Amino acid sequence: MLAREIKLGVEEVHETSFTSDENIIVNGTLIVLGDLVMGEKESLTINEGGIVIVTGNLLIGKNVSVSALGYLIAESFTSPDKWGGKFKEGAISKVFINEAYGGDKQHMPVLLPGGHSIIPELEGIDKDVWDYYQKVIGGVTGGTIELDGSSTSCAGSSLPSIVNMTVAWPAAFKKYSWEYSVDNNNWNIIEGQADIELISLGLELMDGAYYFRRKVSKKNDEEDYMYSNYVEVTVVPLPAPIGIFFK
């Protein structure tokens, strides 16, 4: 069966409910702004460090397997009466679901084995993930960017464009800005860049490695913001001219 893999560092966002007919493997972040519907035999695997956020209902078929070594956060969860899957066993569960139902909407106070907690309890367990979740349900995600071209550029030449891959919620409610860094730690604002994509950099860069990321904030609340993944560009010196000598 085909597998849909969300790689480490990637944030995949679905702005509406999403139905999957593939196995889903999450090493990065999967956000569904609505319902996530799994088929009858697919699997949802959230590896350590992965995050799945479903703002609606996670609906799974009878034979769907759910493995949550990373965080699974869903407003509600619905499964058939004789669900053959399971959550992580043993260590502290990373499954947070406010309402869980079996077949015919029968309420399930505890999902076994592994169990789950209600979403508000996440705040006391992992504050960083809780803050991230709050920003997602508040309508701000950083989305995913990538280079439209080579990651290596000669000094003095134009850098490749940085294009948008995913970003949640209508752009009319968002404000974009761009930042760069030479050490992937200390970041500087790129003046005059306020589009969803970075097409023209407007900077003269010396030789070395540069990192770029997009900042996404609410237009009416710039303190509510998130960052995209970063992309790296290496600037190399121009080749030395080749001299032609005559005897």
Q: Is the pLDDT of residue 194 over 80?
A: yes
At 108, the pLDDT band (50, 70, 90 cuts) reads very low
The share of the chain scoring above pLDDT 90, in percent, equals 16
Q: What is the pLDDT of residue 240?
A: 60
Comparing 223 with 190, which gets the higher pLDDT?
Answer: 190
Q: Give the span between the Cα atoms of 23 and 13, in whole angstroms.
A: 17
CA distances from 9 to 50, 77, 169 (A): 9, 26, 20
Bridge partners of 31? 13, 53
Better-scored residue on pLDDT, 141 or 233: 233
Helix spans in the chain (H): 127-137
Mean pLDDT on 216-224: 76
**Tens of pLDDT along 61-71?**
777 778 788 89
Q: What is the pLDDT of residue 199?
A: 78
Mean pLDDT across 225-247: 75
Average pLDDT, the chain: 78
Q: What band does 30 get if pLDDT is binned at 50, 70 and 90?
A: very high
Residue 179, both tokens: 């930042």
Summarize the confidence of residues 22-39 as an average pLDDT. Answer: 89
Nearest Cα to 58, choosing from 88, 99, 6, 108? 99
Q: What is the 3-state secondary structure (H, E, C) of 86-130?
A: CCCCCCCCCEEEEEEECHHHCECCCCCCCCCECHHHHHHCCHHHH
Q: Where are the domains of the chain?
A: 3-137, 144-236
Kindly tell me if the per-residue pLDDT of 73 is higher than 90: yes
d(CA 149, CA 21) in angstroms, rounded, equals 32
Give the chain's length: 247
pLDDT score recorded for residue 167: 60
pLDDT higher than threshold 80 for residue 41: no
pLDDT at 90: 42
- HSE-CB of 152 using CA atoms within 13 angstroms: 3
Instruction: Verify cis geometry, omega within 30 degrees of 0, for the bond prior to 120.
Output: no
Counting residues of the chain whose pLDDT is more than 70, the rounded percentage is 79
> For 78-106, how does the pLDDT look when each residue is reduced to its tens digit (9 = 90+)?
877 666 555 554 456 788 888 877 654 44
Asked whether the beta carbons of 197 and 159 are under 8 A apart, the reply is no
* pTM beyond cutoff 0.75: no
- Does domain 144-236 sit in CATH 3.30.365? no
User: Mean pLDDT, to the nearest integer, of 195-221?
Assistant: 81
Is it the case that residue 27 has pLDDT exceeding 90? yes
Query: Tokens 């995209």 sit at which residue?
Result: 228
Region 9-33 average pLDDT: 86
| Cα–chain center distance at 48 | 14
Tokens of 152: 């290596």
The stretch 103-120 carries a mean pLDDT of 56
DSSP state of 22: S
